[in-house]
Structure 1
Amino acid sequence: AENIIIGNVALYGATSGEAYINGIAGERFAVRNSGAKAVVEGVGDHGLEYMTGGLVVVLGETGGNFAAGMSGGIAYVYDPNNRLYSRIN
């Protein structure tokens, strides 16, 4: 079962800091992130949209439109079911 523990738009516009989320984030996680570092177990639709910096590790599923407009930063995604490619924009 999903454990969505952090709501939509968490880390929106983050410029620094760290976040370690023991669960799944809602939609638009880390949108416009320019410097924060985060580890999360999964994200909803539009995760990392317009990200320009920072680092995000996703240890589970992503929603659709992942990383749309992402121009910087680093995203590591654990994808054992090979679904990420169809969800990246």
Structure 2
Amino acid sequence: MVESIGTKAGAVTDRRTVPVDAAAKVAAVRPVASDTPAVQSAAAEIASTQAAQPPVDTERVARIRKAIQDNKFPLSPSTIADRLLALKLDWKSRDAS
């Protein structure tokens, strides 16, 4: 069955506009607490501390290097290939949780 185009019984047909009052004035913007000098100096201190340290876990690198030298590090060519493809294509590998 095809319904007709146009108004239907029971449909609202009154589309009059109603005047609206002006919006209330908004208070002036105050500075946020994070703009205080103490917060800025703490953030700068943390940033400088992090920048001074390398983003590498040197102990873990040393353990992996030793395991490779001792032929105890498990190498799986398929896992390496999967992770390289995932890195290249910005995918998550199957082993990632």
> Under a length normalisation based on structure 2, what TM-score does the superposition of the two structures give?
0.19
User: Whose Rg is larger?
Assistant: 2
Kindly indicate whether structure 1 or structure 2 has the higher relative contact order, using CA contacts under 8 Å at least 6 residues apart. 1
Greater strand share, structure number: 1
Greater helix share, structure number: 2
